[in-house]
Structure 1
Amino acid sequence: MSETLFQELTDGDIEALCRMIASGHRPDLSSGVWFDSLVGDSAAEITTNGWKAGDYDRLDLSLPLEWDNLCADDRSWGSQLHGWKFMDKPIREFLATGDRAYLQWCLDRAVSWSERYSSQETDNAIVWYNMALGQRALRLAGLIYLGARNGIAVQELRTLLYAVNRHELEFALESSFNPRTNHGYFVAIGQTVLGTTLDAVPELERLAQVGRERLAVMIRTQFLPDGGHSEHSPEYHRMLMHSFQLAVDYGLIEDSELTGRLRKAADLLGWMIQPNGSLVPLGDTPYVNMVDGSHPLTLSPQTNYLMSGGADGENCKKELGVFPESGYAFVRSGQRAAGAPVAASTYLAFTAAFHGRAHKHADDLNFVWYDRGQEILVEGGRYGYGAQLPADSPLRADGFYYADPFRQYVESSWAHNTVTANGRNHDRRRTPVGSGLGVCEDRSGVFVLRGRIDHTGWTHRRIIELEPGLGLTVIDDVQSTDAIRRDYQVWFNVAGQLDLLNDPGQDRARLLWGTADAEWILSLQTDPDATIHAPVRESNNPLRGWRSVSDGTREGVWSVCLEATSTRHHVFRSRFTFCEPAPEE
């Protein structure tokens, strides 16, 4: 039985423990910091009419609850339910108003859950799934802390302590902690906070100690020496960096080497903010507004400057940011003058790495480009996850996990600004190669970025030469390493807000786009020995010419393909140039 640790405690022992928990010792959970899912319905709507998560049906959480029958058909929804995400808005409302009914509503459901799972087994694997385990532990610690400070009943606390005991046993399982993905963080922080909240119980001191050890492992494995998160996604970089920073703020991480790595991660986050204020959508990153005031300040003054619109921190003096271990390079040009508007910057983000499968799209040597106050070259985005493919699906051999065809499209190589061989996705099952970033330099205002990635049977070398406000040149050197002739394709995705101005069927040497107000024209030209195919926009069969800015949405872009056929070696030179429109007659 998992309740043995607390079975012998008398009511007086429970009351004494309650007073110790409420004494305000570290960590102080009175702010409800771990109840952080604040989108969606109001607390009153959730407690009265049920909880709605994303696009899922509203879930009636009236007691009594048959927990095993709730959200059983969808792992994502089930993980949110058993992670107690539905408690966040009610707890926040309690903290804001002092209305104890909201706290009691959460306590009642936590007790109900504990009565079902603390000492009984279940066939529902998601209940003790690592992500649900870690996130629920954070909320369990917060509930116990807030309950202890606000008159929790002895029997309620006893029941929640039984849940703590069961969580301790689950955390001890080797299968609960996977340091190779961000799920390991939630396990580590969950057990650290839960153990520290209850460190008045000597038997639980080890829980917090192991949690801190796991947090140290996670920082070193998730964040590379230059501060980059290893899962190829600025959104997961932001999310994990913020979470680790909370651990630092609450005194759970004190090692100077680890905090130094987090400061580098905070510096890197600033380079990931586009001139329009959004997070650059590489990998599994949806639209995230970084300048709306909703994000806490970081350990980086330069990042804080961007996030606050210059109200906090200090302006970055550099225009080129290079992160060699992570495989990122960035240009933000036009920001040297104090007070210069961020939106006026030229911006380019280049990714040249394959650290592992987690959140990795088929996007080797991909880049995005923003110039003249406008997105120019964009990429597919995230779209969301949805149901997983069956384990025996042949699509898994192509690196896909999810069943939605549009999700598969945004992961595909042609949804990114990259190169393919024989029109096939990059192989994400091959051995990770780490960073492929080469020398990146500022040549008196012309920025030169280099990268190399080896594929199975062929190699891709890319050089980007960016002249802010004027244009850029992309040199793609592709070469077979197995002597096989291939058809090579270069893919560009031009922002859908631009209008295609010329007929590709009549002018195969170049493509022209323009803005609605006719301020300038963007020209794309390539060498004559490569074919420019007609751009495709909003095609459904096959899926091409789309991107997803926020989950579940899609919008049109111009998908451009350049091709060289039946060759062992080819060098593409693609030149994008800004020019003024011809004067009207």
Structure 2
Amino acid sequence: MVILLEQSINDVDIHGSFDPSASRDYVLGKLTSYSSKDSIQELRTFAKNGSVLHPLWGRIQIFDNKAIPVFENNSVNRYIHGWIFLSGWYESLESSLDNLDQVEKFVLEWISQYGLIQRNYPNFVIIYHDETTAQRLKAAIRLHHIYSARGRSYLTLKLERLMDETAALLATEEFYAGKNNHGMFQSKALRDYAVYADWTDDFVRSKYLSKSLKQISEYFQFSFTSEGVHIEHSPSYHLMVSRHIHEHSQFMRAAFGKCPPELVKSLKDAEIHIIHCIQPNGVFLPLSDSAQVSLLGKRNNVFDSEEFAYATSAGKFGRVPNARTLSEPESGYFFHRTSWGNSSAGYLAFVAAYNGAYHKHSDDLHLYLWKYGYELLTEAGAFGYQMEKPMVKFAFSQHAHNCVVVDHKSLPRHDRKYDRVKMGAYSVGESGDILVSASNSRFIDTVHKRTLNVSDDLQEIRVEDQINSESHHTYSLVWNFGQFLDISIFDNHVIGYINSVPIIRLDFSGAMIEKIIHFNGRDGARPRGWRFPKLGHKLANSQIQVIFEGKSETIITKITTYDRDAERLKKAVPSHHLRELSVQASSDTVNSTPEPAADSQMELNAIFGTLQCQDNVMFFHLPGKSTRAVIRFYRDNQLLQEHRGLVKNFAWPAEQKGKYRARIFPKGINSAMKPFTTDWVIVS
């Protein structure tokens, strides 16, 4: 077998003596998993009633000694039919005879139902999904090793046949998922099978090993840009694939005694990008399908540099990275931060990345901003993968990102127009301001160019959106605010607060603004104003859309972050989710808050608190629920403006000296309830 394998491996330009025993031991070692107390209890629960606990979707009944169902949720199908739920139980199964019978019954029943690989039977595309099939093969290898230790049996024979047929399927060109992470999982499963399956003909194994190593090598070379950025648009997937490069490097050393130099270089290049994708709080930047989980204290089994340790530990360990700014124009990323090792530091990311189809969101020219320990401008995140669901469509769409939408219709997630999204190199002016621009021409007849002028301390950011078209369109400039921000909307600017403290201001100029619409948790067929902290979980979140019309238009957003002490924000009295009153400016404007009205004048007076002024902004604290009202703002008895709609909390600028007050007409001007008038507040 060694001779056959060495002859076949030469096709992949690998020189060295192949060690079948060391490679097999390596594969078995990597498949071992630690069994925690929770996983041991889960195994006992499964043995008792056939249910498992999915990390996102809760407890699921999968086996009742009769049939194993196909589920509506694809994530559940992957978890169950890829046998991924078994991964935490191997150590317990290996060390004890307890609970083996129920697992054996499940495997035999699954093979009885789905083991015959026929493409014409129902649910084939679900059961034999490309990556799910690869995960199941790896699980079958581990189970076979566990049960074989007790002697050959009917189960081990059935597993061998399943693995043989699965490997043959993975080796076909038509089933191979291609140069993406699903194809990588397929190739690595085929690799592991080739070195493990000693019951199989040596020629077949050598052929499979040669094919898998060639596919893996080609994928790793294809899947990263020349700047070392993984093409699937997600920091968490970038790290995941980097981890697989590291793992494959270890396999090559075990199997051949050496690692191809291109793998070493790929891992080194990949590290630079991922360091800058880590926010000041040690969490990945929320891009595409990235999981928003903390990296603080997580074991690093990929990169061994001091800089990576510093970024993932928020400055507790390691060495400060050399640069605060990273420009990757070919890949479509720009990052800048005010400092390292401080969770309250400012952090900006500008994205114009369209490098592949997988995990791509419609986030071209998206801008993200973190400061003072909070997200200030963000995106919705990932909700799931069932595209027929409105919330999933929203998460992938432009509406969930900070960009420009044409005629209220989002660009598709993917249309293969890779060369239509471009980013230029950045420059630094004499004053230290950073200038960077990018363009998106994926639209039918419109080109959007966004230029940022960024101060080094991220206190001022000028965003110029230049839109060129030969046709008349309605444009929506979308801004998604951080989860902890409450916003107030004025004629041409918006102010965001954290715990009643003004923290960010957006001023709009240039194009003639028709209206500014505020969304917060709108559900239904066209969701708007949501944040998804993890798959399947949603939180109502403030989003505004600045609406303007024309052909070729330019709109400028001046973003100002107030100079704040992060500790002051944390100590400030919470305002019970201060929300700007959402004027019903159009049928699209929706406020997610219910609309109970006060039942008495006394109750109304209790709801409307004292008028306050801070940083030339007048605002109320309204801890009660929303009520419909008309609000009139006065300076020295002169009516400044009037708002009508649901009142949750409201604010308006006091930019001139004088006396200010407000009158609130609950339920409208003609209501029987008397208006409430605040005391005067003097601005000097």
**Ranges in structure 2 where 5+ consecutive residues have no aligned partner:** 1-18, 564-613, 617-680
Return the alpha-carbon distance in structure 2 between the equivalents of residues 380 and 51 of structure 1. Answer: 30
With 165-174 and 139-148 compared, the bigger mean Cα shift is at 139-148
Return the alpha-carbon distance in structure 1 between the equivalents of residues 28 and 37 of structure 2. Answer: 17
Tell me the equivalent position of 1:499. Answer: 486
- Kindly provide the CA deviation profile for residues 393-435 of structure 1, in whole angstroms up to 9, marking residues without a partner as x: xxxxxxxxx1211111222212210012222212445432245
- State whether residues 42 and 52 of structure 2, in contact with CA within 8 Å, keep that contact through their aligned partners in structure 1: no
Q: Secondary structure at the match of 2:461?
A: strand
TM-score, with structure 1 as normaliser: 0.82
- State whether residues 263 and 300 of structure 1, in contact with CA within 8 Å, keep that contact through their aligned partners in structure 2: no
Work out the percentage of aligned pairs sharing the same amino acid. Answer: 20
- Kindly provide the CA deviation profile for residues 553-572 of structure 1, in whole angstroms up to 9, marking residues without a partner as x: 222332122233122x2222
**1:553 aligned to 531, 534, 537, which one?**
537
Tell me the equivalent position of 2:96. Answer: 99
Return the alpha-carbon distance in structure 2 between the equivalents of residues 38 and 228 of structure 1. Answer: 38
Post-superposition shift, 1:347?
0.9
- Higher RCO (C-alpha 8 Å, min separation 6): 1
**2:448 aligned to 460, 477, 490, which one?**
460
One-letter code aligned to 1:479: N
Tell me the equivalent position of 1:403. Answer: 388
More strand by share: 2
Tell me the equivalent position of 2:422. Answer: 436
- State whether residues 228 and 265 of structure 1, in contact with CA within 8 Å, keep that contact through their aligned partners in structure 2: yes
- Kindly provide the CA deviation profile for residues 225-269 of structure 1, in whole angstroms up to 9, marking residues without a partner as x: 222222222232232322332222333793221332233223322
Tell me the equivalent position of 2:220. Answer: 219
Post-superposition shift, 1:436?
1.1
**1:527 aligned onto 2:529:** no
- Go from structure 1 to structure 2 and tell me whether the alpha carbon gap of 1:200 and 1:347 turns closer, same or farther (over 3 Å shift): farther
Tell me the equivalent position of 1:357. Answer: 357
Tell me the equivalent position of 2:547. Answer: 563
- Go from structure 1 to structure 2 and tell me whether the alpha carbon gap of 1:454 and 1:60 turns closer, same or farther (over 3 Å shift): closer
**2:283 aligned to 271, 274, 278, which one?**
278
State how 1:11-50 maps to structure 2 within 5 Å.
Answer: 25-30=24-29, 32-33=31-32, 42-49=42-49, 50=51
Return the alpha-carbon distance in structure 2 between the equivalents of residues 406 and 38 of structure 1. Answer: 36
Return the alpha-carbon distance in structure 2 between the equivalents of residues 547 and 477 of structure 1. Answer: 28
Return the alpha-carbon distance in structure 2 between the equivalents of residues 39 and 407 of structure 1. Answer: 31
One-letter code aligned to 1:582: D
- State whether residues 309 and 317 of structure 2, in contact with CA within 8 Å, keep that contact through their aligned partners in structure 1: yes
State how 1:92-491 maps to structure 2 within 5 Å.
Answer: 92-94=91-93, 98-101=95-98, 106=103, 109-114=106-111, 118=115, 121=118, 122-125=121-124, 126-148=126-148, 150-198=149-197, 201=200, 202=202, 203-251=204-252, 254-293=259-298, 296-310=301-315, 312-335=317-340, 340-341=341-342, 343-386=343-386, 402-428=387-413, 430-434=415-419, 436-443=422-429, 445-455=432-442, 456-467=444-455, 468-480=457-469, 483-491=470-478
Q: Secondary structure at the match of 1:564?
A: strand
Q: Secondary structure at the match of 1:30?
A: helix
- State whether residues 375 and 483 of structure 2, in contact with CA within 8 Å, keep that contact through their aligned partners in structure 1: no
One-letter code aligned to 1:454: S
With 488-497 and 48-57 compared, the bigger mean Cα shift is at 48-57
- Go from structure 1 to structure 2 and tell me whether the alpha carbon gap of 1:80 and 1:152 turns closer, same or farther (over 3 Å shift): farther
- Kindly provide the CA deviation profile for residues 193-241 of structure 1, in whole angstroms up to 9, marking residues without a partner as x: 1112236851312212211111112212322222222222223223232
**Structure 1 runs, 4 residues or longer, greater than 6 Å off:** 20-24, 34-41
Tell me the equivalent position of 1:9. Answer: none
Return the alpha-carbon distance in structure 2 between the equivalents of residues 224 and 408 of structure 1. Answer: 28
One-letter code aligned to 1:417: N
- State whether residues 319 and 332 of structure 1, in contact with CA within 8 Å, keep that contact through their aligned partners in structure 2: yes
Post-superposition shift, 1:345?
1.9
Query: What is the RMSD computed on CA atoms of the aligned residues?
Result: 3.1
Tell me the equivalent position of 2:558. Answer: 575
Return the alpha-carbon distance in structure 1 between the equivalents of residues 259 and 107 of structure 2. Answer: 32
TM-score, with structure 2 as normaliser: 0.71
One-letter code aligned to 2:493: R
Tell me the equivalent position of 2:14. Answer: none
Return the alpha-carbon distance in structure 2 between the equivalents of residues 553 and 290 of structure 1. Answer: 20
Return the alpha-carbon distance in structure 1 between the equivalents of residues 198 and 227 of structure 2. Answer: 34
Return the alpha-carbon distance in structure 2 between the equivalents of residues 354 and 141 of structure 1. Answer: 37
- Go from structure 1 to structure 2 and tell me whether the alpha carbon gap of 1:332 and 1:427 turns closer, same or farther (over 3 Å shift): same
- Go from structure 1 to structure 2 and tell me whether the alpha carbon gap of 1:66 and 1:288 turns closer, same or farther (over 3 Å shift): same
- Kindly provide the CA deviation profile for residues 317-343 of structure 1, in whole angstroms up to 9, marking residues without a partner as x: 1011122332112112212xxxx32x0
Return the alpha-carbon distance in structure 1 between the equivalents of residues 265 and 37 of structure 2. Answer: 30
Post-superposition shift, 1:157?
3.1
- State whether residues 514 and 522 of structure 1, in contact with CA within 8 Å, keep that contact through their aligned partners in structure 2: yes
Return the alpha-carbon distance in structure 2 between the equivalents of residues 573 and 229 of structure 1. Answer: 32
Return the alpha-carbon distance in structure 1 between the equivalents of residues 406 and 167 of structure 2. Answer: 50
Post-superposition shift, 1:94?
4.4
Return the alpha-carbon distance in structure 1 between the equivalents of residues 527 and 73 of structure 2. Answer: 26
- Go from structure 1 to structure 2 and tell me whether the alpha carbon gap of 1:105 and 1:441 turns closer, same or farther (over 3 Å shift): farther
Report the number of matched residues.
532
Tell me the equivalent position of 1:512. Answer: 495
- State whether residues 521 and 530 of structure 2, in contact with CA within 8 Å, keep that contact through their aligned partners in structure 1: yes
Return the alpha-carbon distance in structure 1 between the equivalents of residues 188 and 451 of structure 2. Answer: 41
Name which one, 1 or 2, has greater alpha-carbon Rg.
2
With 462-471 and 81-90 compared, the bigger mean Cα shift is at 462-471
- Go from structure 1 to structure 2 and tell me whether the alpha carbon gap of 1:82 and 1:320 turns closer, same or farther (over 3 Å shift): same
